[in-house]
């Protein structure tokens, strides 16, 4: 198997690095901020939106989209190289708009939805929030209960939405809500859900902030008689969960990049080179050496699992569901193991927070220890990934 990138792909990666070198200002964290860990990917401030606009102008937001809609019809490996470079520096990434929402609209959206949203996505003129989870529908997203009832308001065919979503990370700054709702309460739970696009400035929507253990904001979103015209329905009626499942395959890979894990591991190794305990080098301890060697091996496994998803996604056929779940499970739990090791080896000093001058690794061990917990939950918990792998890869029966 050839693990090398082609000369064209390496040239593209070099072009990206040159662009990022030009854009990144030392000491300015308004766009590039590795201390936000995986949440650095979101486009939640004006400077970050301006940066993504520059990416759009270079044609990097629609690399895999069809030329008919402004894309380049390129291979997914270019998106992979771009996102890994962005994530390595803590920059915002191409994600929800281009990937989850844009690609679903391309595949299943009506002509009017494509015309309304796809050009704006490529010009980075719109941000989206994604609403699947509810108080009683977290990992089991198909249990969602947000109710959508058909109606005709002012002669316009549409839907009235009532209920609640939760853990919606971008709802406090996005313009549009990509939301799943139950349109057929009598159908089996996976077959009575429909996707809608809803403006977040609708007067019937209330957004309430929730602060996480990773110092980032997520939200609960309440719907009170929110009217949505039927032309903002995505795809076929009652097939929303199937579209959600396709999009989650993409989310599990694109939103949990490998390069930040590698960078945190390198940060740990750099610290170990000079760290001492009782005037003895920590790196000389055989237990420490064994733990670090194991992490180095596991990091290479995670990298290759990611490349396998890229390779599978470039082939015709269904999305690489099991490959994406295998990568997401392994990579996010590896990220936790790296954080755990950093906390153990840095001892009491590992509890000092980012920005503390004397903190080992600049305080990153403490912040990554908190942040990486979220990564094993978002996009489907580790337990959900194990179920997918067991059923679809190994052919085992359901355990629920």
What is the pLDDT, as a whole number, of residue 225?
Answer: 97
What is the pLDDT, as a whole number, of residue 173?
Answer: 96
Residue 38, pLDDT above cutoff 90: no
Residue 4, pLDDT above cutoff 90: no
User: Band of the pLDDT at 253, cuts 50, 70, 90?
Assistant: low
Residue 184, pLDDT above cutoff 80: yes
What is the pLDDT, as a whole number, of residue 312?
Answer: 85
Calculate what percentage of the chain has a pLDDT beyond 70: 97
User: Band of the pLDDT at 206, cuts 50, 70, 90?
Assistant: very high
Average pLDDT rounded to a whole number, residues 75-103? 92
Q: Read off the pTM.
A: 0.91
- Residues 325-344 have pLDDT tens digits of 999 999 999 999 999 999 99
Q: Kindly report the three-state secondary structure assignment for every residue of the chain.
A: CCCCCCHHHHHHHHHHHHHHHHHCCCCCCCCCCHHHHHHHHCCCCHHHHHHHHHHHHCCCCCCCCCHHHCCCCCCHHHHHHHHHHHHHCCCCCCCHHHHHHHHHHHHHCCHHHHHHHHHHHHCCCCCEEEECCECCECCCHHHCCCEEEEEEECCEEEEEEEEEEECCCCCCCCCEEEEEEECCCCCCHHHCEEEEEEECCCCCEEEEEEECCCCCEEEEEEEEEEEEEHHHEECCCCEHHHHHHHHHHHHHHHCCCCHHHHHHHHHHHHHHHHCEECCEEHHHCHHHHHHHHHHHHHHHHHHHHHHHHHHHHCCCCCCCHHHHHHHHHHHHHHHHHHHHHHHHHHHHHHHCCCCCCCCHHHHHHHHHHHHHHHHCCCCCCHHHHHHHHHHHHCCCCCCC
Lowest mean pLDDT among 152-156, 178-182, 285-289, 295-299: 152-156
What is the pLDDT, as a whole number, of residue 10?
Answer: 95
What is the pLDDT, as a whole number, of residue 2?
Answer: 65
User: Band of the pLDDT at 290, cuts 50, 70, 90?
Assistant: very high
- Residues 208-230 have pLDDT tens digits of 999 988 888 999 999 999 999 99
User: Band of the pLDDT at 76, cuts 50, 70, 90?
Assistant: confident
Residue 171, pLDDT above cutoff 70: yes
């Amino acid at each position: 198997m050839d693990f090398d990138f082609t000369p064209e792909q390496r040239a593209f990666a070099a072009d990206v690095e040159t662009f990022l070198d030009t854009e990144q200002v030392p000491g300015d964290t308004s766009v590039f901020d590795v201390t936000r860990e995986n949440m650095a990917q979101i486009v939640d401030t004006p400077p970050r939106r301006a940066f993504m606009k520059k990416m759009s102008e270079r044609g990097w937001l629609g690399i895999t989209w069809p030329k008919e809609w402004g894309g380049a019809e390129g291979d997914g490996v270019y998106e992979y190289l771009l996102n890994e470079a962005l994530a390595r520096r803590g920059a915002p990434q191409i994600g929800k708009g281009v990937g989850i929402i844009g690609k679903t609209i391309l595949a299943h959206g009506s002509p009017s939805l494509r015309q309304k949203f796809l050009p704006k996505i490529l010009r980075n003129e719109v941000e989206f929030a994604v609403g699947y989870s509810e108080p009683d529908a977290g990992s089991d997203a198909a249990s969602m209960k947000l109710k959508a009832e058909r109606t005709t308001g002012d002669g316009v065919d549409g839907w009235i939405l009532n209920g609640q979503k939760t853990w919606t990370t971008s709802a406090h700054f996005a313009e549009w809500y990509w939301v799943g709702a139950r349109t057929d309460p009598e159908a089996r739970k996976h077959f009575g859900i429909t996707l809608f696009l809803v403006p977040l400035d609708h007067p019937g929507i209330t957004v309430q902030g929730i602060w996480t253990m990773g110092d980032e904001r997520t939200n609960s979103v309440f719907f009170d008689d929110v009217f949505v015209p039927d032309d903002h329905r995505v795809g076929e009626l009652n097939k929303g969960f199937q579209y959600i499942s396709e999009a989650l395959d993409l989310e599990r890979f694109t939103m949990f990049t490998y390069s930040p894990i590698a960078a945190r591991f390198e940060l740990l190794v750099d610290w170990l080179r000079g760290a001492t305990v009782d005037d003895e080098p920590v790196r000389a301890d055989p237990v420490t050496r064994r733990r670090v060697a194991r992490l180095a091996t596991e990091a290479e496994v995670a990298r290759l699992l990611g490349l396998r998803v890229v390779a599978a996604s470039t082939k015709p056929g269904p999305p690489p569901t099991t490959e994406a779940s295998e990568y997401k499970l392994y990579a996010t739990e590896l990220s936790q193991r790296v954080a755990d090791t950093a906390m153990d080896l840095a001892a009491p000093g590992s509890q000092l927070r980012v920005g503390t001058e004397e903190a080992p690794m600049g305080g990153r061990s403490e912040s990554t220890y908190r942040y990486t917990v979220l990564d094993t939950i978002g996009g489907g918990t580790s337990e959900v990934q194990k179920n997918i792998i067991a059923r679809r890869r190994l052919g085992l029966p359901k355990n629920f």
